[in-house]
């Protein structure tokens, strides 16, 4: 049985939303060094990833991602210290939320239809 997932979206005071997709974009850029490569690795379009980068950069006081113009070294993109800090803070929030809600999430698992069906199937099999 799969564990329930808790998806965290942070709505900042300026109305900007930071969620798992934007964090995945930042992590992919960090791993690949390129917006194109990050888009490919995530299965997203370049345009979508570029707009996510613009959105994240626009919500912060300093940019999370900086880009270099192409040319001989073909350009690239990398996370700034701010970008790395945003990813770390998001994952810390995520971890704290998972820890704080563990028992409640487990209670939901026992109430879910999938859990009831699988438990019922085991009980029926035991009767045979």
Instruction: Give the separation between CA 105 and CA 67, rounded to whole angstroms.
Output: 40
Instruction: Give the separation between CA 120 and CA 128, rounded to whole angstroms.
Output: 13
- Domain 10-101, CATH among 1.10.10.10, 1.10.3720.10, 3.30.565.10, 1.25.40.10: 1.10.10.10
Domain ranges of the chain: 10-101
User: pTM for this structure?
Assistant: 0.80
Give helix then strand counts, H and E, for the chain.
6, 4
Question: Residue 37, exposed/middle/buried by CB under 10 A (0-12, 13-18, 19+)?
Answer: middle
Q: What is the pLDDT of residues 41-78, one digit of tens each?
A: 999 999 999 999 999 999 999 999 999 876 556 679 99
């Amino acid at each position: 049985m799969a564990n329930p997932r808790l998806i965290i979206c942070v709505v900042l005071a300026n109305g900007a939303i930071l969620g798992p997709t934007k964090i995945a974009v930042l992590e992919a850029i960090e791993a690949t060094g390129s917006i194109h490569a990050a888009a490919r690795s995530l299965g997203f379009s370049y345009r979508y990833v570029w707009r996510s980068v613009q959105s994240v950069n626009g919500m912060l006081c300093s940019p999370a991602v900086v880009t270099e113009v192409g040319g001989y070294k073909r350009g690239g993109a990398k996370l700034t210290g701010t970008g790395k800090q945003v990813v770390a803070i998001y994952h810390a929030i995520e971890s704290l939320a998972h820890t704080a809600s563990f028992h409640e999430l487990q209670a939901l698992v026992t109430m879910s239809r999938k859990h009831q069906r699988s438990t019922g199937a085991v009980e029926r099999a035991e009767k045979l």
